[in-house]
């Protein structure tokens, strides 16, 4: 098992390498550079050159890449071009916990809601409830998540005032779990919706698949009640492929956080990324992209390990 984990981690290295090259290359294709933003009428031309020089923007591209990669390997993502003097690492460290929290909670929501729904749907196949669940999942797939988010804000926050409009916590108040939850619940739920729909469909078909298996028939023939059959004999088997799906879902999940963070003013790396992208803050963009990809890789690693834990047939 540990050999497997090591192998998977090693496999991630060339992966991340390719990722860094792609992201760096993309940045360099960009027209316009960050100094364009500082078009202050009162800037002196020589100051501009010096400014570029101080950030190494005048160097050869390969040199810039090498320098960046070398630093990054040591945990140094460079300094923000916009936020002078602030290490990118600090920016990311300040934001990452928020994103991770959001993703964790919404993953939990997604799984907690969609798996039971899918399982229920599968066991009541072709019933009215099944059709209803199926239709709602399709709706969930087809509705842009930002739209759901905006609507919820309009109705629940602005009109009814039940939830705050954005942010992670009330400013200036002492830390309280309830306050954090209060802020978290809408964005986490909306981020969960898109994948929830797919996940429900997937757990349904996964459960249906399991219910067709011979060992389910065995369990039934042994006189176990339907509930026991489904939960004790079926569920764990049905969960195994769902774990893999989690790994596959992860990129879109992290990608989706950009939108959700924008909608809910959630100060995570998605929002950081959006700002950086608009401002061409290369070091930040590249760091976020690499970290997001690393998150995906780690998520997949976790999924694989979980898979191995859940499925005794897999031996490494």
Partner 1 sequence: MTGIGAIHSPGQAEAAESQHETLLEVKNLKMHFPIKTGVLQRVTGHVKAVDGVSFAVKKGETIGIVGESGCGKSTMGRSIIRLYEPTGGEILYNGKDIAGLPEKQLRPLIRREIQMVFQDPNASLNPRKSLGSALAEPMKAHGLYESRQERIERIEKLLDLVGLHRSVINNYPHEFSGGQRQRIGIARALVLNPELVIADEAVSALDVSVQAQIINLLEDLQEKLGLTYIFISHDLSVVRHISDRVGVMYLGKLVELSDKEALYEEPLHPYTQALLSAIPVIKKDGTEERERIVLKGDLPSPSSPPPGCIFHTRCPYKMPMCETIVPEFREAAPGRQVACHLYGEPPF
Partner 2 sequence: TPADEISDAEAATKPDGGKGGGLVLATTAAPTLFNPYYSTDTSSSTIEGFIFSGLVTVDHDFNPEGDLAESWEFSDDGLRWTFHLRENVKWHDGEPFTADDVVFSYNIPLSEDYVGPRGLPFEIIEEINKVDDYTVEFVLSEPYAPFITITAQFEVLPEHILGDVPIADLGKHKFNTKEPVGTGPFKFKEWREGEYILLDRNDDYFLGAPKLDSITYKIVPDTNTAMAQLQVGEINLAGISPEYTEMAEDLAQKGKIELSSGPSNAFEYIGYNLRNELFQDKEVRQALTHAIDKEAIIQAILGGAGTVAHGPGSPANWAFNPDMPAFDYDPEKAKQMLKEAGWEPGPDGILQKDGKKFEFVLKTTSANEIRQQIAEVAQQQWSEIGIKTTIELLEWSAYVEQTSPPNWNFDAMVAGWSIGSDPDPTWFWHSSEIENGLNYNGYSNPKVDELLSQNTQISDLEERKRVIAEADAIVAEDQPNTFIYYVEGYLAKSPNLHGPEYSSANTYYKLHEWYID
Partner 3 sequence: MSTNVLEVKSLKTYFNKNKKTVRAVDGVEFSIGKGETVALVGESGCGKSMTSLSIMGLVPAPAGKIVGGEILLNGIDLVGLPEKKMYEVRGREVAMIFQEPMTSLNPVLTIGDQLSGVVMHHLKLSKKEAMKKSAEMLEIVGFADPEKTLKDYPHRLSGGMRQRVMIAMAMSCNPKLLIADEPTTALDVTIQAQVLELMKDLSRKFSTSILLITHDLGVVSELAERVIVMYAGQIVEMADSNRLFNDPLHPYTEGLIGSVPTIDGDIRRLEAIPGNVPAPGTEMPGCRFAPRCSRATSKCTESVPEMRVLPDGRSVRCVLYEEEAAQ
| Distance between start and end Cα atoms, the chain | 5
When CB distances are held under 5 to 8 angstroms depending on the partner's kind, the choice from partner 1, partner 3, partner 2, none that residue 161 binds is: partner 2
Residue 30 region by backbone torsions, left for phi larger than 0, else alpha for psi between -120 and 50, else beta: beta
The binder of 222, among partner 1, partner 2, partner 3, none, by C-beta within 5 to 8 A per type, is: partner 3
Nearer to partner 3 (CB atom), residue 40 or residue 214: 214
Nearest CA to 86 out of 266, 281, 288, 292 is that of 281
Task: Transcribe 135-186 into DSSP letters.
Answer: HHHHHHHHS-HHHHHHHHIIIIIIIS--S-SSSSS-TTSPP-HHHHHHHHHH
User: Count residues contacting partner 3 (CB under 8 A)?
Assistant: 22
Judged by CB, which is closer to partner 1: 6, or 18?
Answer: 6
Cβ proximity to partner 1, 6 vs 43, nearer residue: 6
Of residues 84 and 176, the one with the C-beta less far from partner 2: 84
Minimum separation from the CB atom of position 231 to partner 2 (A): 43
Question: DSSP assignment, residue 87?
Answer: B
Among partner 1, partner 2, partner 3, none, what binds residue 310 when CB lies within 5 to 8 Å by partner kind?
Answer: partner 3
Binds 58, which of partner 2, partner 3, partner 1, none (CB < 5 to 8 A, cut-off by type)? none
Q: Is 311 in the site for partner 3 (CB under 8 A)?
A: yes
Q: How many CB atoms lie under 10 A from the CB of residue 221?
A: 8
Residue 3 contact partner, candidates partner 3, partner 2, partner 1, none, CB within 5 to 8 A by sort of partner:
partner 1
**Which residues sit at the interface with partner 1, rule CB under 8 A?**
3, 6-7, 10
Judged by CB under 8 A, the residue of 48, 82, 136, 240 near partner 3 is: 240
Residues that bind partner 2 in the complex, under the rule CB under 8 A: 31-34, 36-45, 47, 50-51, 54, 79, 82-86, 90-91, 94-95, 98, 150, 153-154, 157-158, 161, 164-168, 171-172, 261-263, 265, 267-268, 271-272, 274-275, 278-280
Residue 311 Cα distances to 107, 110, 219, 316, angstroms: 21, 22, 19, 12
Does 222 interact with partner 3 (rule: CB under 8 A)?
Answer: yes
Q: Alpha-carbon distance 271 to 180, whole Å? A: 19
272 binds, among partner 3, partner 2, partner 1, none (CB under 5 to 8 A by kind): partner 2
- The two tokens of residue 92 are 């990311």
The C-alpha atoms of residue 241 and residue 82 are separated, in whole angstroms, by 44
To partner 1, the closest distance from the beta carbon of 28 in angstroms equals 34
Nearest to 269 by CA among 286, 277, 257, 253: 257
CA–CA distances in Å: residue 93 to residues 130, 242, 264, 272:
44, 31, 20, 11
If the CB atoms of residues 1 and 154 are measured against partner 1, the closer one turns out to be 1
Separation of alpha carbons 212 and 217, rounded Å: 8
> Is 44 exposed, middle or buried, given 0-12, 13-18 or 19+ CB atoms closer than 10 A?
exposed
Binding partner at 54 among partner 3, partner 2, partner 1, none, C-beta below 5 to 8 Å by kind: partner 2
**Does 313 sit near partner 3 (CB under 8 A)?**
yes
Interface with partner 3 (CB under 8 A): 126, 213-215, 217-225, 232-233, 236-237, 240, 310-313
């Amino acid at each position: 098992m540990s050999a497997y984990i090591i192998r998977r981690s090693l496999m991630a290295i060339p992966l991340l390498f390719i990722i860094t090259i792609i992201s760096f290359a993309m940045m360099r294709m960009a027209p316009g550079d960050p100094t364009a933003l500082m078009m202050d009428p009162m800037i002196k031309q020589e100051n501009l050159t010096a400014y570029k020089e101080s950030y190494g923007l005048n160097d050869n591209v390969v040199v810039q890449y090498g320098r960046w990669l070398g630093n990054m390997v040591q945990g140094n993502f460079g300094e923000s071009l916009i936020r002078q003097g602030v290490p990118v690492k600090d920016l990311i460290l300040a934001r990452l916990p928020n994103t991770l929290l959001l993703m964790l909670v919404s993953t939990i929501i997604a799984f907690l809601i969609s798996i039971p729904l899918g399982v229920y749907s599968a066991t009541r196949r072709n019933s009215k409830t099944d059709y209803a669940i199926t239709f709602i999942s399709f709706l969930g797939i087809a509705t842009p998540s930002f739209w759901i988010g905006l609507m919820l804000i309009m109705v629940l926050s602005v009109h009814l005032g039940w939830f705050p409009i954005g942010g992670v916590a009330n400013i200036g108040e002492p830390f309280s779990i309830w306050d954090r939850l209060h802020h978290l619940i809408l964005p986490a739920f909306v981020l969960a919706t898109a994948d929830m729909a797919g996940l429900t469909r997937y757990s349904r078909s996964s459960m249906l698949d399991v219910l067709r298996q011979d060992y389910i028939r065995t369990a039934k023939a042994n006189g176990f009640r339907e509930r026991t059959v489904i939960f004790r004999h079926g569920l764990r088997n049905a969960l195994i492929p769902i774990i893999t799906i989690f790994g596959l879902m992860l990129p879109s999940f992290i990608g989706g956080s950009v939108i959700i963070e924008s909608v809910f003013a959630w100060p995570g790396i998605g929002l950081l990324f959006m700002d950086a992208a608009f401002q061409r803050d290369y070091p930040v963009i590249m760091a976020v992209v690499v970290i997001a990809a690393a998150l995906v890789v780690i998520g997949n690693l976790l999924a694989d390990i979980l898979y191995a834990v859940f499925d005794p047939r897999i031996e490494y």
